[in-house]
Amino acid sequence: MKSFFALFTESPNSFQGQEPGERIVLFLRRHPFTILIKVIGISLGFILPIVVSIVFINYIIFYGFFYVYLFVVSVLALIAWIMIAYTVTMYTLDVWIITDTRILDSTQHGFFNRTVSELHMSRIQDVYIKTEGTFQTVIGFGDLFIQTAGTEERFMFYQIPQPLHVKDVIMSIAFPEEHKPTPPNS
Amino acid sequence: MLALNINLVLLGLVLIIVLSYWIFVFIIFYHLVRFGVGTLPKTLSAFFVLGSLVLFSTCVFLFSTINFGALTQQTLQSINGTLQKQ
């Protein structure tokens, strides 16, 4: 029982496939703002029909449909709840892990479609960030791209918080002689 | 006999919907616990299952309060009332 509740207590991050002695430097998810927008959208889709139906509430009560109405609302809430849960699950399972030796990108494209790719620090050639739009600039999140050797595909981090700091951290690990990491929020 | 068949079909449909819902809940719970890194996915999975349980119970309770025998009568009354107003 104690071990079950240990699932919810803070512990140092570890992941499947972690090598002995490998240290996690950064653990990243998309910026919470990106999920907040989706959750608000779904919630509005649920709340709007209820707000509209309140206009007809007298009619609903007069003809004895009040319990039917409550049941329909509860079913709508159930649908909204499961849609939010799915969205949050996809958000939670999309992670980027930066360790002292490599970068791991785990992306969930639906329940049964998942890609995990990794890149060793020695293969990094160039790192650059892209912040575009009002929200990204004001709130402080953006995309980060890692160019690897040869014709290999770029490694991409989407909508991560503080991309400049992340870039500095990656550069300081990949090229320790030339780069020193800047503190976050700078 | 026909009414019984319709009831059976409806019951089957409700069972399929309920079963699909709980399978979906389980898949989300499993993914969060199995593939999630850190404590956040585990906490979210517990919160989500608890919320699903509460909402599902509410749905079942509200469904049980509906008087289906009187529903047809009420629907006819409401239609007649609307037509008379027009």
ipTM score: 0.82
CA distances from A17 to A94, A104, A116, B33 (A): 16, 10, 11, 16
- pTM for the full model? 0.83
Q: Establish if A13 belongs to a structural domain.
A: no
Residues in chain A with CB shorter than 8 Å from the CB of B44 are 88-89, 92
* Closest CA relative to residue A88, chosen from B54, B17, B52, B55: B52
Q: How many of the other CB atoms lie within 10 Å of CB of B64?
A: 9
- Number of A/B CB contacts below 8 angstroms equals 89
Give the domain extent around A98: 24-177
pLDDT of residue B60: 93
Q: Establish if A8 belongs to a structural domain.
A: no
Contact A163, A183 (CB under 8 A): no
The distance of Cα A155 from the centroid of its chain, to the nearest Å, equals 17
Q: What is the pLDDT of residues A97-136, one digit of tens each?
A: 999 999 999 988 888 898 888 888 888 888 999 999 999 9
Q: A5 pLDDT band (50/70/90 cuts)? A: low
Q: A57 pLDDT band (50/70/90 cuts)? A: confident
| Residue, of A23 and A179, whose pLDDT is higher | A23
Q: Establish if A141 belongs to a structural domain.
A: yes
Token look-up 């892209």 returns A130
Total structural domains within chain A: 1
| Residue, of B2 and A64, whose pLDDT is higher | A64
CATH (domain of A76): 2.30.29.30
Residues B48, B52, B53: CA angle, nearest 5 degrees = 120
Inform me whether the C-beta atom of residue B25 falls under 8 Å from chain A C-beta atoms: yes
* Closest CA relative to residue A7, chosen from B63, B44, B84: B44
